[in-house]
Structure 1
């Protein structure tokens, strides 16, 4: 499917990355299972939280090490699926999967380290601007093609973007509720801000009349970029396939538009769902406070 049959098993499934992800998941299960009582004298981590973390790791692996990652070097639409999985879906799942005491210990360690000077990055507006700014900057054609052609910069940029995604999600997931000052209407405003900030980049991609990225339209550039995820001489890719159009079910310009639509659609669904959830909780809290106030007034009148 989608030309995966032309590649080796290790090129599709990235066994080294898979092993790393399995080791991290195993370490998590040990920390939240057999040795939990030694590290934290509190309630055990629920099966639901563990499931969220495992699903998050699976999503992240699929996006950055599985077939989606390889297809993301062939078709721009799959690249956008990978980006959505990596930065809009995996981070909140992983954050929700970590128990409060782990976040507390991490926060205490960071507060005593030089990284504490970067605490301003957790401010909701700063976090939203940084994440969406980095995401949009990455999809400027010249920057995107440069990053895709330089492996070390590619990995570094993705790592920084992942950290920025966690900082952005911090305001919504609230792993340490006692440290969060953003609730109700402020959270809803934060969600709207994120939805607006990503729109220009998606709009540029969706409405561009021609292909923007040489990585997906120039065979020589494509082969060089593919050299980081498949073995052998990139020249062999050209002689064997001729270019990305060999695999493409869509023309480059249409594939590009589909990618932009996919990214915006996934973002809208996720943030609209979060908006509905936050609004419901805010409305319920407001009604509870009104009922309590009415009850107090009734007691005063009776006395």
Structure 2
């Protein structure tokens, strides 16, 4: 059965198009036209503008195109949606906003202490993994998907948690704490390890977990998150099997596998960039690093013989 039966609004989310356009126009007004109203502002770089526009396009594709509709029909597409929303878009968005604008926002009186606490590496990592894992507990996901407000709030909080998680890795804002390259590599590997149990639970399940993807009545209720209730009332649907031939068990397992694969690819790219930067730094500053290590060793020996 074609997805077009759900109508244009469900397929292409015109309201989200409006939000995306508003954010994009606001971005260029702030970073170009109103830039001189901010202290220490700099001209917008082409790379920053491209990254921001890409992040907005990806956000629309993930949350506003038929991908979002399919994410309510197939668990596999739900996991694709989560992987891109939480693991890719935050990177592009952070790099798309100029450092001077980040600095202005995160140093506002009410934001600074909260942002500083939420972006502490250990806390940020644990907070994101905990929220992601909790969200994919069967009873939790089914409950959240039946309430539009709760679903929207939890998704937004998850996205913020992803931003906090990535901040220690990729921010270049002056005055913000930065992790050493070796610590970054450990941080990335730790993230990949900690998120594995949630994916493994989904991949190696012996039966379908999520009633909102298998129970026709609950599925119809969950579809109200993206399809107007008036449209659903005029349709005679029994369940997601009308739109896919994939068995619910395979759909669930494939979703877990795809989530893990996308995560590993994104983390591998980030890890590779961090490793290359670390290696080049070691090569260029080998003598300085050696002298520093020798000096620290001499000071340690001197303290021992006092």
Decide: shared fold, TM above 0.5: yes
| Matching residue of 1:219 | 216
Which consecutive residues of structure 1, in runs of 5 or more, have no partner in the other structure? 296-303
Q: Which moved more, 1:205-214 or 1:33-42?
A: 33-42
Structure-2 change in CA distance of 1:41 and 1:189 (3 Å) = closer
Structure-to-structure mapping, 1:106-255, within 5 angstroms: 106-109=105-108, 112-113=109-110, 116-117=113-114, 119-232=116-229, 236=233, 240-255=236-251
TM-score, normalization by structure 2? 0.89
* CA RMSD after TM alignment: 2.1
Q: Which residue of 2 aligns with 1:39?
A: 38
Q: State yes or no: 1:63 paired with 2:56.
A: no
Does residue 95 of structure 2 align to residue 99 of structure 1? Answer: no
SS in 1 for 2:285: helix
- Tell me, yes or no, if the aligned pair for 2:7 and 2:231 is still in contact at 8 Å: no
TM-score if structure 1 supplies the norm length?
Answer: 0.90
Change (3 A) 1:144 1:294: closer
Matching of residues 280-299 of structure 1 within 5 Å:
280-291=276-287
Alignment match, 2:302: none
- The offset of 1:254, in angstroms, is 0.5
* Separation of aligned partners in 1, 2:227 and 2:133: 27
Tell me, yes or no, if the aligned pair for 2:99 and 2:172 is still in contact at 8 Å.
yes
Runs of 4+ in 1 over 4 A off after TM superposition: 291-295
Q: Secondary structure at the match of 2:263?
A: helix
CA deviation vs aligned residue, 1:103-154 (integer Å, no higher than 9, x gap): 1101210xx2176256322111110110011001000000000000011111
* CA distance in 2: counterparts of 1:118 and 1:96, whole angstroms: 17
Q: Which residue of the partner structure matches residue 259 of structure 1?
A: 255
Q: Which segment drifts farther, 170-179 or 135-144?
A: 170-179
Match of 2:294 in 1: none
- Count of aligned positions: 292
Match of 1:81 in 2: 80
Mapped contact 2:100–2:173 kept (Cα < 8 A):
no
Cα separation, partners in 2 of 1:37 and 1:140, compared to 1, 3 Å: same
d(CA) in 1 for partners of 2:165, 2:111: 21
Compute the displacement of 1:41 (Å): 5.3
Q: Please name the residue that 2:297 is paired with.
A: none
Which 10-residue stretch deviates more, 44-53 or 137-146?
A: 44-53
Give the equivalent residue in structure 2 for 1:299.
none
Mapped partners of 2:289, 2:172: distance in 1:
30
Secondary structure of 1:195 counterpart: helix
Provide the rounded CA distance (Å) in 1 between the counterparts of 2:52 and 2:170: 14
User: 5+ residue gaps in structure 2?
Assistant: 292-306
- 1:173 is displaced (CA, Å) by 1.3
Given that 1:172 and 1:187 are in contact with CA atoms closer than 8 Å, whether structure 2 keeps it comes out as: yes
SS at match of 2:81: helix
